[in-house]
Amino acid sequence: MKRTAEDVLREEYASLLPELRFLRHVMQVTANHSLLDVRETLGGHERIDVESRVKSCESAIDKVRRRTEGGTFDPSTRYSLTQLKDLVGVRVLVFPKQRAKDAIIRLKRAFPRWRADHLPALGVYKFHGKIRPGDPVGAEYQVVPALVGMFWAVEHDTFYKPDPALRGAEKHPRLQAARERLEKELVAFEDTFQEVVEGGPPRVL
Amino acid sequence: MPEGPKLALLKRRGFIYDFRRMIYYNPRVRKVFSAEAVEDHDLRWIYARLREPPRTSWTFYFNDPPSADVRGELIRYLSGVQ
């Protein structure tokens, strides 16, 4: 029986998995270590949380498939998971978002010369690179406002975990438009929170 | 990809978006647009493609014409979702 592109990519994933787990561990430890001093200065309501993950096999295959026009593998083309920049990833959730700057300065030192790929409207800062020059796969770290990051986590669980058939539904134009509206509101909430906190109690004239 | 005039036009002409394959298709006229092609071309280009008379087999409007294997796979897929 002829092997499909999915079969080949699943085999590749299995061979990469030990390395992916190792890289995840290195990234998690490095990020936590680099953020130690900032965390010591956090106020009671502030937070900087580090999460890490290895992209699941089916998500990785789906991402490669979605890069093809028509979302369909061509049997005559050779595909590889190593083209993905985020097989391993760290997400740093910050609240309030003004804390992102402190985190980015330290993470840039820990992961020097990684390529920036930001979403400035959401206050999301992404960086891609390789932990060691010879690594077969790339990795990504993100610094994300906590509210946006938590929404993404819920959204991911909603679309991916219960039913793989829903994978990609979040890219539906109507859902994407609704998502953009919600993300803007989450950012606006953080801005308002910051104004209220920094503004302090109203002055008595 | 927010909803805009291009998507509204396709919707009016009976096209359905398939989020798994990222295509707009209309079984009645047997036409398929890739999301990339819709995004990369203007309204005039879409109008022109819509005006083309339907053929007996499916017509694919992609940036890069799909191979025979990909066309076959998509046609099998589309006959399954209808």
Residue ranges for chain A with pLDDT beneath 50: 201-205
Are B43 and B51 spatial neighbours (Cβ–Cβ below 8 Å)? Answer: no
- What pLDDT, on the 0 to 100 scale, is given for residue B37? 96
Residue B8 contacts A where some CB pair is shorter than 8 Å: no
- What pLDDT, on the 0 to 100 scale, is given for residue A177? 86
- What pLDDT, on the 0 to 100 scale, is given for residue B79? 86
Q: Is the peptide bond before A96 cis (omega within 30 degrees of 0)?
A: yes
What's the domain count of chain A? 1
Contact B2 A173 (CB under 8 A): yes
Are A22 and A54 spatial neighbours (Cβ–Cβ below 8 Å)? Answer: no
Check which CATH number belongs to the domain holding A130 and give it.
3.30.460.10
> Which tens digit of pLDDT belongs to each residue from A178-188?
888 999 999 88
Residues 6+ apart with CB under 8 A from A134: none
Delimit the domains of chain B by residue range. Answer: 5-81
- What pLDDT, on the 0 to 100 scale, is given for residue A53? 95
Per-residue confidence at B4, pLDDT binned at 50, 70, 90?
A: confident
- What pLDDT, on the 0 to 100 scale, is given for residue A45? 86
- What pLDDT, on the 0 to 100 scale, is given for residue A160? 65
Amino acid in position A193? F
- What pLDDT, on the 0 to 100 scale, is given for residue B22? 92
Assess if residue A108 is contained within a domain: yes
Per-residue confidence at B1, pLDDT binned at 50, 70, 90?
A: very low
Answer whether residue B36 shows pLDDT above 80.
yes
User: Residue A97 in 3-state DSSP?
Assistant: helix
CA pair distance B16, B10, nearest whole angstrom: 8
> Which domain, by its residues, includes A90?
5-145
CA pair distance A181, A187, nearest whole angstrom: 10
Contact B62 A72 (CB under 8 A): no
Contacts of B69 in chain A (CB under 8 A): 74-76
- What pLDDT, on the 0 to 100 scale, is given for residue A164? 65
Contacts of B77 in chain A (CB under 8 A): 72
Q: What is the mean pLDDT of residues B56-75?
A: 95
Contacts of B66 in chain A (CB under 8 A): 69-70, 72, 74
- What pLDDT, on the 0 to 100 scale, is given for residue B44? 95
Answer whether residue B64 shows pLDDT above 90.
yes
Q: How many CB atoms lie within 10 A of CB A170?
A: 17
Token pair belonging to B68: 């025979």
User: Does the predicted TM-score (pTM) go above 0.90?
Assistant: no
Amino acid in position A59? S
Max alpha carbon distance in chain B (Å)? 33
